[in-house]
Structure 1
């Protein structure tokens, strides 16, 4: 009888508590209905309080039905008293903070500010109430336990990880720290990175290591790509742990498992929540304890986040593509570990481990070549584990026809061939069965997530992917990627989302952006599939063309934008307007490429622009003719004189028909033709051409115009080549004075004239003045053009020749070798300027008495000159002359005499009997006849 009365007393006590709690909740609801919201202090408690009242109600019902044992009822009394105390504390805070419905606006504002002081107190109340909810819920669940037998069988701890351990797992430096932190009590740690970067594989390995070292620890795996799969994971936990009620259809498994996990009596556990990418999965409303979502009132709503425990006996490891979602789940950026691509060494180990004994190289490949290709392959795949594994699977499946080398070639071809390789899905039993193993498909999931969440962010990514993947200036993005009427677009917000998903990154300054090459390619592939790529190409070209300056100067802007202009070559639009814009962009980039000495790139860009303009505008349009001339200038600079001559004659013919021969651009092209003829050794024709142009330019545009000064300098070079050194010096000094006055001492035109004058002064044996002016030119070139520019190196080479004649060998020889090394890399070993530089190394060796080394170089120089320039070219004859001198120094008198005789005869025919070079060969023959020696000569560049 006493027990029954006690039960009635407890039930009545709970009923009063529920009534009191409901009145407190009503105050919050009444205020919200009238004013639309409640102070920021209370939203969380407003969610937790209905849950507490529900748990109390279930406890009351269970006691009334006699489902709870007497011992349990007594054990619950402190919890019920605690609930009452917390609700009273909450009532007190509400009375102090919540303004009355008749309060003034000022009073309400003051109360709102006061509420901030109670944030911590209310949060503490919320946490305590949450603990009581867990206790009451657990007793309510087991009270329905449908079994009179109260002895609960506890199964042995095990793992629900659905993947076998990878026997070829490549350890990563992040793993040790992940292991350590995931074992801390009540820890939450999130691994964040791109899809396919290896987050899940790290989590799987971590789980196996934990089970090895701690067999009594449970490990649970939850796939969080959807609410349904999350629920499925909890169902598996309930089944594996044999929680009472796990097999009852009317029992809420989320609440059941949550309560079990919070009970420290059940031991330690690690929960891995994989693919936690979508915030809506965790924050979206799910069903309440007993009903469906549709039946659940708003104030009784639950989210999956409510069912992720925070108990001290467990820890949680998330994997996510989104840093923002990871932060919401861990509530701390300190608990987020960024997982990036592997370093090259580990990526190479991963590739090699995947072949499983199958040869991935051709029979003719040596190990060194295979290693080079393997390193190049992992670099081309951005060291992304998923991409590397799929590449290895492809190669293994098709061996021996497929090799690392052939796969790499397929990637380098780009376009659809690369897309086909990266879209292949060859399966991986250690990845979720519903997830694609194609790296492109994997990332397209992220793109779709972002498009759903914030469309303008995908527009930003769409524009970015067409730039060079590194050093993307944000000034070319902000305000240029979204529709004008898109009011929701915000650059910083869009940028933040792309960074949260690890699709882009910023440099140390935070102003320039970058992305992985595979992300870039995958984005373009995705846009192509959406039918949107063409439109973004047009936008990209338009934005870049407007920003690219006319590169008459080597500006920082041009330098920054040039790599992106190179990327634009692959973004040729199809519509006429954007196509002409594309041609204009390439024409600007061509000019900059010429200024920095990147001649082949300049020629390619010029030809692309010419093809568009000629097809679209016609052969005689001024823009078309301008493109023809620009290509000729590049060819001249790159010592491709015959091709330059053809292009110039074509341009002159077109300009003559449209503008006439006296027009300034026509005259400029005729002057360039004279320079080409000079370089080809056709001196008489060149002299007539240049003097006619100079006579016309003296009138228009005038004697001090830049074009006129260029022609004067070209005439000076020609006269020097013809042996008319006095007149040449007059013209070169006049050109240099005018250019220094008009353009400054560091303009490329001025620096070019310094180099020419210094070389001429050397021929006049004015060595000190030659050294001075060449040092000035070299200093200016280093500052203006850089140490890798061909013009800088040519000036350095001419200075080194002067130093040799001054017997300054210690400075001269290293300088000659440096010049040769740079020109070989930038222009190629068969370029005329490189050939001259090679001969100059022989020149200094001969002067220092190393005749045998010099002979080898002179023979190679002569062979290259005959191949590239022809046997009768003046430069080839220079090499022949020097080789003969060297042979004489080696006492190979007969070969030396015959070679010098041949050189004299050809010089006499090509240059004339009175040319200084012809005289040099003739004098050498005379001296040898008289038994005297003779020095090698230096060729002017």
Structure 2
């Protein structure tokens, strides 16, 4: 949980209390406006540019009056770009409001300009009763959960609290006075608590149900798009299962599901049949209904085996897997589930593998590979799914995948293959999806339409969505379909064989898409533009921030249009949307045929450049979520075009990859940037020199000292001559060269440059500028390596104090400063002090940067050395072994750090062997 407060210099700072004792805090309840302060605005110190900053100042002033140092506001205390954090926050919200010392309700539609008006109830009661705050779904828990709830007008004047105004609040909301007085909620029937939300409004219809979860003490994942009625049904199932087998199925049952009886029977017959974990895979081409079959199996298993817990796991990538496992851990109340330092995936695996009486069915959906990548990590740091599968005779696992090799590796011969649906099943499916029943006279027309759709489920769903939305006949739709097919065949002659392989011009999903797209282009150009943009980025987790609109409402309306035609999947909880892979592929094919793909790719690159952040630490979650889209757009554009937007985006992408420790990927892009800038701007242009310095830093981080030194020496010579010795770029170049000297053990040469750099930085930028602090840390490390412990410790202590105050305790520079001080303690034999800092550094690096970041691995190696020095050889060797294996994957087997770890391991193992002998 993050909390805000103003420090001694009146600067608004955000502090993460993960793993720490949370101090008393105030919490704000409010309705979002169009200019709210976000988490990234606090980190970049630009929050005063937004209208929402007035609410922050109001909350801070009121908290100070109540002698509370810290306060919490949802808009800027949750990093909306961090999917893990966002998911956890949604499930923790009720508890956070309940635990708050004070809750301030800010009512912008209730005005009181004078204290006299507050005294005269008649002057504000009408507007208070009419306030929209009382009509919203999510404010329900914000009224009931906290003990102290105080109401304030738009001017920040206190109107009263829920105790003094309880009769009035009771009349407005219908909530019993006892509930307003915080009597235990289990004293009110569930049906009564559900009624409290009956007349409340929510932006998403499903939120009328989800806003009750905290009041009912029920954990249930959100599934936007299922509709309010199905959400109610799922909630009722959860209520009924309170004392039964806990399950998580994040989607409502598909009422339109038909057929696949033989496949269902095969799956049910083989599950829970052996003395070890049963693993089965459902495989087949995209669009054949693998996930829908698994969903039906999940619901049938839950009905049939009352003692079986069913958990649905999104295995499409590492982040989704983590979120699914975290939800399971919370649902089962697995010990340490809320510990930030715990490996949630291992906790769940061990819990499900332990002996017990309950059966488990796990559905791993969208498993298209054994190695799952994260949006923020390279392939080398991918998670091996097999490492996190529970082993128990009571556990059955079902995978859905389009990859036959993956299916065989995971499930051996236990594979259920899906192909075309039978005509009868397809006809039943079409009838289930249509709003109007198919009459007997239209049966033949339905059969002809299904033939044209190749009995493919996804194509049937899209055709039915169009027919329902446009309220048209089957015959009219088939006429349009045949017309588009003929046009597609004509266009095939325009393509070479190679391009035909890339472009699906006549597949059923393509044709149904084109029919819907023609209609959308004519009626809603913004929705059509969103489709074209989505075709030029990665198809999954497309952030709404990429979709330009004059207002959030206009954007949402356009997305709902696309959703009504079954072309996108909305993900309001993540502020994102997805496209099916067949739809994505068909869209790109259409744009290519229209010769508009390059144009739209350039447009998307410009849009990405507008939202892609710099590589400052506060934007790490944002760039990690946007990186897959940036890399996709760049990989499908033409480097030789030398477009300014493209090259700037390439450079920004490279900088974030460098900050994330993905050195090989960064190198490739930096070379591209440097060569282009040399050609366009010349060898001595400042931007060319910057790109040269960036590439040199990448070489240094890869352990390629000689290449780094050559490039840095050349960069420094040109900078000194062109920009001057005192220019900041020259000083940065000098600092980089000093670091390369340091890495090679050339302490005297490094010190000489570092003293010069630090002195100039202090004079030009000030004592507390990040560049000054970095130069101070570098010089201190050089002192340490020369055995000048006292000088090193003094400089490092000062550096750590300033970094903590200016950058925050969790900034990577602060953690590196802490690690440096720990190393100096280690060199002096102060093992306990070194260990204390080392444990803190490693834990925070893991949480902030990830388990596989090079800085995390360095902190791991340092802690292992400290344990070895304390005589804890077994723990030290175990940690160093883990560090070495990760370094081989992330840095390469020949990186100096990897080779050092191997040499250390061999020495320790030999030493242990001698002791045992």
Task: State which structure, 1 or 2, has the greater radius of gyration over its C-alpha atoms.
Answer: 1
Higher helix share: 1
